[in-house]
Amino acid sequence: MTDNLARRVLEEPATEQAIEDLHGVLDQLWLDAAFVPQLDQMAFTTAVIESASNVVQHGVPSPGATLHLGVELTVSAERLKAVISEIGAAPHDPVPDLDDLPEPSLPDEDALLEDYDESGRGLSMIRALVTTVTVERQGDTNVWVLSRDSGQD
C-alpha cells in the first residue's frame, strides 16, 4: 500500500467558483508536496483543472438533483492521483472508452485557426498529461480517476 504524503479534498456546487477554489486547493497541495517535480505539478494541475471544468461546463444533473463537483487529490512518493466526481449527475451516455480515443497530436497553425473552439479536445489533452484515466458510474455519480506517475528531480 502506498502512503499518501499529501491530501486535499473539495466538494461544492459545480460552478465557476468551484474551479477558482480548486486552483487554491491545488496551490496548497503543492506546498505540502514540494518534492514533486515542477513538470509533474504543472501537467497534473492542468489535467485536474480541465477535468473539473468539464464537470462545470458539460455536467448534466439528474432530474431534481443539484450537480456538485467533488475532487480528492492525493500525492505519494511515486504517484499523483485525482478522483473527480460529478455528484448528482445524469449518467454519461455512453461512458467513453478512453483507450479508444485517438492519440493527441499537435495541429498545424491553420488547423488551430480553423478550429479555434477547443470543444472536444479536453479528453485528449487530459489523456496526454496523465498516466491513466478511468471513468465509471457509482450510484448517482460519474467518477473520473486520473493518475500520473511522478519522478523526483
Angle, helices 122-129/38-58, rounded to nearest 10 degrees: 150
Residue ranges making up the domain that contains 113: 6-149
> Is residue 99 assigned to a domain?
yes
pLDDT of residue 47: 97
> Is residue 129 assigned to a domain?
yes
d(CA 129, CA 133): 10
pLDDT bucket at 2, cuts 50 / 70 / 90: low
d(CA 145, CA 51): 10
> Is residue 87 assigned to a domain?
yes
Are the C-beta atoms of residues 27 and 41 closer than 8 Å to each other?
no
d(CA 66, CA 48): 22
Dump pLDDT digits (tens) for 78-136: 999 999 999 999 987 554 555 555 555 544 444 433 443 345 678 889 999 999 999 99
Question: How many structural domains is the chain composed of?
Answer: 1
What's the rounded mean pLDDT across residues 18-28? 98
> Is residue 1 assigned to a domain?
no
What's the rounded mean pLDDT across residues 49-72? 95
Average pLDDT, the chain: 86
pLDDT bucket at 17, cuts 50 / 70 / 90: very high
pTM for the predicted model, two decimal places:
0.81
Contacts of residue 129, defined as CB under 8 A and 6 or more positions apart, other chains included, come to: 43, 44, 46, 47, 148
d(CA 82, CA 143): 10
Before 61, cis peptide (omega within 30)?
no
Contacts of residue 93, defined as CB under 8 A and 6 or more positions apart, other chains included, come to: none
What's the rounded mean pLDDT across residues 43-64? 95
pLDDT of residue 91: 86
pLDDT of residue 120: 62
CATH number for position 73: 3.30.565.10
